[in-house]
Amino acid sequence: MKGSVGKRITTWVTGNRVWRSLFRHDLPHDDLGRMQTMFTNFFLHLVPARVHFHSLRPGYTLGLGVISLFLFAILVVTGVLLMFFYVPWAERAYHDMKDLEFAVSYGVILRNMHRWAAHAMVAVVFLHMVRVFYTGSYKRPREFNWVLGVLLWLLTLGLSFTGYLLPWDQLAFWAITVGTSIASYPPWIGKTLRVLLLGGNTVGQGALLRFYVLHVVALPVAVALLVAVHLWRVRKDGGLSRPLTPALPAIAGGVPDPATKDATGPALAEYEIFPPFSQKTYGLMELAWGTSPVVETQAPEEEIPSWPHLTFRLLVLFVGVLAVMSTMAYFFDAPLEELANPTHPPNPAKAPWYFLGLQELVSYSALVGGVVVPALLILGLMSIPYVDLNREGEGIWFTSQRGRRIALACLLGTAPLGPLLIYLNGHFGARLLWPEAPQAVVDLLNPGSLLLFLIVLISLMTWRVTGSRRAAAIALFSAFLSAYVILMIIGTFFRGPNWVWVWPWQAGAIY
């Protein structure tokens, strides 16, 4: 009896016109229904109706791109809510923060969630880039999407950096003062860039307003647009990357028997069903011309319906991200120091954590930390797919066992180099041995430049020994990654007043 009442209510709710106008399909029970559900729902149609089983392997993508997306969504929602309580006015901003803490219901949770999600997004987008690199997913035809990704990474840093100033406390004020002074080092454009950013020469009301507008309008809109293009490109490039299978022997003069798995020849599954570089020319309704159609990259029999395989994973990931962020927001408060005081700089004044590696380098040479390394980093990253041209190792973590060993050796081998060079610089540095040394000598002989030189050397040696550009790229990327993370850790935990070395447990260490 109870069951039938429940059934009647369900039928009434799901059978009426309002419900049917919203949900046009019942829960799908067959493949056709699954496809229709994916096609007819606005949100679901953003992902493909069928997905290659390799793309669903959690160990392949680690879900990092999707997590970046969810974090961005959380930031937009919490950010818009915060806008109801915040005015970008130097005399008010800090008090609005205090109000969020003490006067607004759940205000502190809202602020914490926004803050932790922002830090998480900086880290996760970076890790996503690391995964894309190590799986060789930047290779043709995904070169442009990689470049878009690098831009997205820079925009993400920009979003976080502009948000840093808004609380208008000591931490914010001085982190931005230091951060924008690093931005002013590039010759010709540096000073203008800083003035443009700050609306003057110092951090003040002009800077607060500019950072606010950049933070709540310009950068989020730019990120949203680029993310849309980025995801569209993932679809157009044939879905996520995956290992290439050897080309059909048809090219070499013979088609394998699908059933064969013996000495007479490899099984069909071991070959690429649609060879990418076939000589045959196709024309699609006079609209598209090429040597092979896009289906080349797809093997339909290896794809499964996205509903429920992909949709369920996305849901679990979203709930997971939300749960972690809510828990962090509940238990850990975002820092808020005393009101910004332009006449009392803390000692040391530190940039946001993700720029501390650069700040460490700037402490030896403004040229190296402020110009050479950022420029090489951005140009180097963008040019990777155009230098490492062949498709070796695409879709395979580290390409091969050898690649894995190279990555590990470079990650571990480079880690002690930074501290060692810093130690040597402290005892035998150019300025110590030759106090009157011209700046050019210091720019050339300091831990930053020497580290850079060693990293390039490691990469060139790897190229020479292996003869593989991919191996050289892995060595370069891993060595750089390791060195930068170590410098960031040193800047965060091992630098005290006047930027001298302090051990974290030493009294007076400031983080």
Nearer to ligand HEM, 109 or 227 (CB): 227
Residue choice 93, 97, 113, 125 for contact with ligand HEM (CB under 6 A)? 125
Query: Which residue lies nearer to ligand HEM by CB, 141 or 293?
Result: 141
Q: Which of residues 389-408 bind ligand HEM (CB under 6 A)?
A: none
Site mask for ligand HEM (CB under 6 A), range 14-53, x = bound:
----------------------------------------
Among 132, 445, 472, 473, binds ligand HEM (CB under 6 A): 132
Neighbours of 236 (CB within 10 A): 13
Residue 241 lies near ligand HEM (rule: CB under 6 A): yes
Question: Strand 282-284 vs strand 288-290: parallel, antiparallel, or unpaired?
Answer: antiparallel
Distances (CA, A) of 150 to 157, 235, 242, 262, 377: 11, 18, 21, 46, 10
- Which of 61, 177, 184, 365 binds ligand HEM (CB under 6 A)? It is 61
Residue of 179, 186, 184 whose CA lies nearest to 161: 179
Least distance to ligand HEM, CB of residue 63, Å: 6
Q: Does 66 bind ligand HEM (CB under 6 A)?
A: yes
Separation of alpha carbons 293 and 353, rounded Å = 47
* CB of 221 or CB of 424, closer to ligand HEM: 221
| Residue 189, helix vs strand vs coil | coil
Binding flag, residue 234, ligand HEM (CB under 6 A): yes
422 binds ligand HEM (CB under 6 A): no
Q: Is 162 in the site for ligand HEM (CB under 6 A)?
A: no
> Rule CB under 6 A: is residue 134 a binding residue for ligand HEM?
no
Does 230 engage in binding with ligand HEM (CB under 6 A)? Answer: yes
152 lies in the site for ligand HEM, by CB under 6 A: yes
Question: Alpha-carbon torsion 329, 330, 334, 339, what sign?
Answer: positive
Distance CA 186, CA 173 (A): 22
Minimum CB–partner distance for residue 182 and ligand HEM (Å): 21
Identity at 327, one-letter amino acid code:
T
Give the interface size with ligand HEM as a residue count (CB under 6 A): 28
Report the DSSP beta bridge partners of residue 303: 52
153 near ligand HEM, rule: CB under 6 A: yes
Q: Which of 363, 364, 361, 397 is nearest to 376 (CA)?
A: 361
Q: Residue 160 or residue 468: which is nearer to ligand HEM going by CB? A: 160
Q: Identify the burial level of 4 via C-beta atoms within 10 angstroms of its C-beta, where 0-12 means exposed, 13-18 middle and 19 or more buried.
A: exposed
3-class secondary structure, 1: coil
Binding residue for ligand HEM (CB under 6 A) from 149, 256, 348, 448?
149
Whether cis (ω within 30° of 0) applies to the bond prior to 141 is yes
Stretch that binds ligand HEM, among 152-160, 253-261, 324-332, 362-370 (CB under 6 A): 152-160
- C-beta closer to ligand HEM: residue 150 or 406: 150
160 scored as a contact of ligand HEM (CB under 6 A): no
Is residue 485 within 8 A of residue 358, CB to CB? The reply is: no
Helix (H, G, I), strand (E, B) or coil at 282: strand
CB of 258 to ligand HEM, least distance (A): 28
Q: Which of residues 184-213 bind ligand HEM (CB under 6 A)?
A: none
Shortest Cβ distance from residue 226 to ligand HEM (Å)?
7
- Give 198 or 240: the residue with its C-beta nearer to ligand HEM: 240
Question: If binding is defined by CB under 6 A, does position 166 make contact with ligand HEM?
Answer: no
| Contact present, 411 and 482 (Cβ < 8 Å) | yes
Joined tokens for residue 194: 């800083």
**How many whole angstroms separate alpha carbon 128 and alpha carbon 63?**
8
Stretch that binds ligand HEM, among 41-49, 122-130, 159-167, 176-184 (CB under 6 A): 122-130
Dist. CA 73–CA 308, nearest whole Å? 22
Q: Determine, following the binding rule CB under 6 A, whether residue 79 of this chain makes contact with ligand HEM.
A: no
Q: Which residue's CB is nearer to ligand HEM, number 72 or number 86?
A: 72
Largest alpha-carbon pair distance within the chain?
96
Cα gap 76→24, rounded to integer Å: 29
Of 1-9, 60-68, 93-101, 316-324: span binding ligand HEM (CB under 6 A): 60-68
What count of other Cβ atoms lies within 10 Å of the Cβ of residue 335?
Answer: 11
Alpha carbon of 77 to those of 209, 410, 458: distances in Å? 21, 40, 45
- The window from 64-72, 78-86, 198-206, 412-420 that contacts ligand HEM (CB under 6 A) reads 64-72
Neighbouring residues of 338: CB distance < 8 A, sequence distance ≥ 6: 169, 170
Q: Which residues bind ligand HEM (CB under 6 A)?
A: 61, 64-66, 68-69, 72, 125, 128-129, 132, 137-138, 142, 145-146, 149-150, 152-153, 156, 223, 227, 230-231, 234, 240-241
